[in-house]
Amino acid sequence: MFENLKAQPADKILALVQAYREDPRDTKIDLGVGVYKNADGVTPVMRAVKAAEKIVWEEQESKAYVSLTGDPAYSDAMIKLILGDAVARENVGAAATPGGTGACRQAFELIQMASPEARVFVSNPTWPNHISILNYLGIEVAPYRYFDSETRGVDFDGMIADLGQANAGDVVLLHGCCHNPTGANLNLIQWQAVIDLINEKNLVAMIDIAYQGFGDGLDEDAQATRLVASSVKECLIAASCSKNFGVYRERTGLLMAVSNDASQTALNQATLSFLNRQNYSFPPDHGARVVTTILNNPELCADWKAELEETRLSMLALRQQLADELQRLSGSDRFGFLAQHRGMFSRLGTTPEMVEKLRADHGIYMVGDSRMNIAGLNAKSVPILAKAIIDSGI
């Protein structure tokens, strides 16, 4: 049997991690995988996470199974964090999942189960693993225009024109905030236009929200998701705690199935439960328990918010510093988009050959599509990157 296996394409983002590790140059800069790093290049355990882990360690009496959709208190706390008061709790089915990827995977399986003919419209570009999982499941992928390589902003007319080709029942996958990989985001007026189109054409909205709190603030980053959830007939929301709680390896995510008809919720919830059982049975609990402990403890929650806000502001400062430095070196405003983008990533908008040149000549690692993890920078490496970009003729 094993001899029938075919080598699968390596994940380009994760392959970079290895290549970076193997590079002996001490001047190398890692702008690859989406992991937050502080100015010392460390991905810290957040203060509130440490404190919550201590509480869990002291208070937890059992490691017996919880429930197929995880601890309901986790779902409640996360729904409140993401949806606020936009939707009544009784309209939301929710299941803990192994990270945001697990939530996406379960969402795609639910789509396939409920609507086998549906295509999933994804932004061009999107997080490559969206496409990889959809292909693996045999779900048809339909890209819609998103990134304008001239302005490095959103090609909104292109997006609307392409979504206009969707048929009733097709799914539109949107990034709730901090678009990965481009950093270019819709404004609320544009979100409303997308919602109108979804409703007009009877499409299904799916939101992937993996960076809440990394863009304009916790509530600000959830605004679009709340608007969608409260305006459409039904939607799926895949959320991740990996980044905003820094619990990457704990695999802490949530899938929500939101319906404007509360009588649908029991079936949605049962389906999420069934899907968890088929794929991995009980979802991981530790990260979810830590997150719940933080969100339900006013002191810890305030401290978590404060540290998250510091993180967000540090990334914004790096964006501004890079844009300023590039303006100084190039004598033009053509890199101003870096300060406009939000979240962990920006797409520089250069060729794979240039990306390779930056790696070979300067030890700068970014994803081949020129996605940079802004959090991989610090005040000292920004001028080095800016000079490398200009010296390379980008």
Q: Which of 52, 86, 95, 127 is catalytic?
A: 127
CA distance 394 to 384: 14
Q: How far is the CB of 133 from ligand LMR (least distance, A)?
A: 11
> Least separation, in Å, of the C-beta of 366 and ligand LMR?
11
Nearer to ligand LMR, 14 or 113 (CB): 14
Q: How far is the CB of 141 from ligand LMR (least distance, A)?
A: 17
Does the annotation mark 127 as catalytic?
yes
Output the smallest distance, CB 11 to ligand LMR, in A.
7
Which residues sit at the interface with ligand LMR, rule CB under 6 A?
13, 33-34, 127, 129, 180
Contacts of 81 by beta carbon, 8 Å cutoff, 6+ apart: 212, 218, 222, 295
Whether 243 is catalytic: yes
User: What angle, 0 to 180 degrees and rounded to 10, lies between the N-to-C axes of helices 286-295 and 47-59?
Assistant: 110
CB of 241 to ligand LMR, least distance (A): 13
User: Which one is catalytic: 170, 208, 221, 285?
Assistant: 208
Q: Which is nearer to ligand LMR, 36 or 265 (CB)?
A: 36
Residue 102 Cβ, how far from ligand LMR at the closest point, in Å?
Answer: 11
Of 91 and 244, the one with the shorter C-beta distance to ligand LMR is 244
Q: What are the CB-based long-range contacts (under 8 Å, 24+) for 325-330?
A: 325/382, 325/383, 325/386, 326/386, 326/389, 326/390, 329/386, 329/387, 329/390, 330/390
**Using alpha carbons only, what angle is made at residue 321 by residues 316 and 323, rounded to the nearest 5 degrees?**
95
Has 304 been annotated as catalytic?
no
Residue from 51, 94, 184, 210 carrying the catalytic annotation: 210
Q: Which residue is nearest to ligand LMR (CB)?
A: 34
Query: Which is nearer to ligand LMR, 69 or 182 (by Cβ)?
Result: 182
Q: Indicate the residue among 240 and 321 with the shorter CB distance to ligand LMR.
A: 240
> Among residues 52, 243, 304, 386, which one is catalytic?
243
Written as six digits, the tokens of 122 are 């994804």
Closer of 141 and 390 to ligand LMR (Cβ): 141
Task: Point out the residues that are catalytic.
Answer: 127, 208, 210, 243
